[in-house]
Amino acid sequence: MEASSSKRDSGGFESVDTDFLIRALDGVWDGVYFVDSERTITYWNSGSEKISGFTSEEVVGRACFDDILRHVDGEGRLLCRDGCPLAATILDGQERDIEVFLHHRDGHRVPVSVRAAPIKNEQGDIVGAVESFHDDTARAEAVEKARQLEEVAFLDPLTGVGNRRFAEVSLAERLDEWKRYGWSLALLFIDVDHFKRVNDEYGHALGDQVLTMVARTLQGVARSHDFIGRWGGEEFVMVVTGADQSGLIVVAERVRSLVERSGLRTEQAQIEVTVSIGATIPEPEDTTESLVARADERMCQSKAAGRNRVTV
């Protein structure tokens, strides 16, 4: 990004005082970056660094589809290869808004709202595009929830989600509400596939990072009124409110596909994992224990059927 004058390569803003423009863009919370007509990144602001974890030195000069953000939709479809909003905007000059999940440098998925707009030269020709994006994770709620959990020793110190005690208490409360008021409730039991192999091959320190990556991806999928807990080892539970059986399948498949599309980049390798999921909704006679046992049983069926799948 260094330049000998105040006119830096900013993807089509040749007539603008780009030093001023860059200072202004570096002061905003949203991520902003420019690409040229070949989708090569020419500018990457500090907001992009904060949200994605990638520094400008790591991405400027590379194509946006070159294994960087790896945007996927809610079904895990890789948009950088099929459905890229920047590519479409460069082609037809139309602005676009889309909800996607970007790939954080630490491996987990982050829900973001993306806006793409064309960059035109003085003759009106499209010479690139600008994308802005902001983190849709409910940060303030997450911080407050973490503080409350920590105060009552309900926080799993490794992954940052609730621990088993928190999961048991919260699930009991939600099950009671379901019986009293009929509020929709569903449970996912999630197990990381072949996790022992990860520990054996890469060591427990990287194994811990993989668990944190999975937990953060789950947090990205969850809404503010859902909750996630680490049940033990490589097992997690996720309680989804307001979902019937068809909605449960959608959420469970979204979790599965987004974990599959995550990956932890290390000096040794790109570590990618999948999860097997058991999903269920309560029955009138259910207790917390029977509900978890049934979801666990469905998860084992997913394992037996080949892993990386959902059984409802």
Mean pLDDT of 194-200: 96
pTM comes to 0.71
Does residue 152 sit in the same domain as residue 129?
no
Does residue 283 sit in the same domain as residue 302?
yes
Positions annotated as catalytic residues are: 234
CATH number at residue 177: 3.30.70.270
**Is residue 5, in this structure, part of any structural domain at all?**
no
Task: Look at 32-36, 97-101, 240-244, 281-285 and tell me which has the smallest mean pLDDT.
Answer: 240-244
Contact call for residues 226 and 239 (beta carbons, < 8 A)? yes
Structural domain including 60 reads: 18-135
* pLDDT of 237 strictly over 80: yes
Does residue 147 sit in the same domain as residue 128?
no
> Would you state the pLDDT for residue 151?
60
Cβ of 172: how many Cβ atoms within 10 Å? 14
Q: Where are the beta strands (DSSP E) in the chain?
A: 31-36, 41-44, 96-103, 109-120, 126-135, 185-192, 227-232, 235-241, 264-265, 270-271, 275-280, 310-311
**Residue 245 — very low, low, confident or very high, per pLDDT cuts 50/70/90?**
confident
* pLDDT of 139 strictly over 90: no
Would you say how long the chain is, in residues? 312
**Is residue 277, in this structure, part of any structural domain at all?**
yes
* pLDDT of 277 strictly over 60: yes
> Would you state the pLDDT for residue 152?
63
* pLDDT of 117 strictly over 60: yes
> Would you state the pLDDT for residue 18?
61
Question: Domain boundary at 135, 167, 197, which?
Answer: 135
Does residue 36 sit in the same domain as residue 120?
yes
Report the run of H or E that residue 210 belongs to, with start and end: helix 204-221
Does residue 153 sit in the same domain as residue 26?
no
* pLDDT of 260 strictly over 90: yes
**Residue 140 — very low, low, confident or very high, per pLDDT cuts 50/70/90?**
very low
Does residue 44 sit in the same domain as residue 169?
no
- Amino acid (1-letter code) at residue 98: I
CA distance 273 to 279: 19
Does residue 103 sit in the same domain as residue 182?
no
* pLDDT of 256 strictly over 90: yes
Q: Which of 133, 88, 141, 130 is nearest to 114 (CA)?
A: 133
Question: Domain boundary at 96, 112, 135, which?
Answer: 135
**9-45 residue pLDDT tens:** 444 444 445 666 777 787 778 899 999 999 999 999 9
**Is residue 114, in this structure, part of any structural domain at all?**
yes
**Is residue 7, in this structure, part of any structural domain at all?**
no
Place of tokens 């294994």: 67
**Residue 130 — very low, low, confident or very high, per pLDDT cuts 50/70/90?**
very high
Contact call for residues 194 and 183 (beta carbons, < 8 A)? no
